[in-house]
Amino acid sequence: MTGTQFDLGGVIVATTLPFKEDPNAPAGLAVDFDRFAAHCDWLMNNGCRGVGPNGSLGEYSSLTDEERRKVIQVAVETVGDRGLVVAGVHGVGWHQAKHWAELAAEDGAAGVLLLPPTIFRANEGEIIEHYEKVNEVGLPIMAYNNPFDTKVDLTPDLLAKIDGLENVVAIKEFSGDVRRVMEILDKTSLQVIAGADDLLFESLVAGATGWFAGYPNAFPREAVELYRLVMAGKVFEARELYQNMVPVFTWDSKTEFVQAIKLSIDVVGESYGGVTRPPRRPLSEEAAAAVRRDTERALAYTRNR
């Protein structure tokens, strides 16, 4: 399968995961699958192309194996034929990532999102092998470059070396360097997917195909409109919308992005964000106030347009 055969255009939301109190669950918090299904349904009803469960925003590393698999099953059942489910299959080693990719394929995911090996800083040979092994599963792969968390940078030259794998079709680019978009397009056949919400406008203008997004968990309608405006060449209209959304979008690139986005969902009030599992702790009073301020500012703009 080539990138052109698996079109990732549109807004695919890296979904948050709601929890509910349960003294018998890890850290006293059980996954609220009913609310998760309702959230996925709400995103699809607001024009999103699909959902991306079990990413960092979905707190995959804090889930049990049973929870992690059921998240994908619920997403696939909820989305149905309305869009794509791109499942996070991150693992310390390729054997773990391949296992999660095999389960994702069995459970009906359309594709997978794959970081390089997590936890330790892999070398080039280990990175290439990681993608080679998951490539064997047969699902389309969106590689994920997040050098801040993995300490591995999937540079354009390194991406060119995995570009030949038939199922590697795209790269979620989160380096923070918008110049990467054109360089990747020049050196590979991969679709470039905007990964940082606060570089979304610049990335799309530079040639990104789609948006694998965090803040559309709270603002899906505005996110879809922003994407469509840029892709239709209505750059000035898109820029005005983006300028009014980007102050809150910047929380997507901060350490507390999961807590911030969940709080923004609750401030908007159309879906449910809630608490996070350890190791993530609640926001400080100062940070929570700042998130509320930025969310309410964006919300006031959208309601007064």
Q: How far is CA 211 from the centre of its chain?
A: 8
Kindly report, residue by residue over 176-226, the tens digit of the pLDDT. 999 999 999 999 999 999 999 999 999 999 999 999 999 999 999 999 999
Handedness of CA 221, 302, 197, 279 (dihedral sign): negative
Q: What is the pTM of this model?
A: 0.96
State the 10-residue block means of pLDDT for the chain, 305 residues long.
73 98 98 98 98 97 98 98 98 97 98 94 95 98 92 96 97 96 98 97 97 97 98 97 98 96 98 98 98 98 92
Class of domain 10-232: alpha beta
- Per-domain boundaries in the chain: 10-232
Contact (Cβ atoms closer than 8 angstroms) between residue 42 and residue 271: yes
Contact (Cβ atoms closer than 8 angstroms) between residue 110 and residue 134: no
Cis amide prior to 279 (ω within 30 degrees): yes
What's the pLDDT score for residue 151?
87
What's the pLDDT score for residue 150?
81
The pLDDT > 90 percentage for the chain reads: 95
Kindly report, residue by residue over 61-70, the tens digit of the pLDDT. 999 999 999 9
What's the pLDDT score for residue 293?
98
Q: Which amino acid is at 25?
A: A
* Alpha-helical runs (H) found in 109-219: 124-135, 147-150, 156-162, 179-187, 200-206
What's the pLDDT score for residue 78?
98
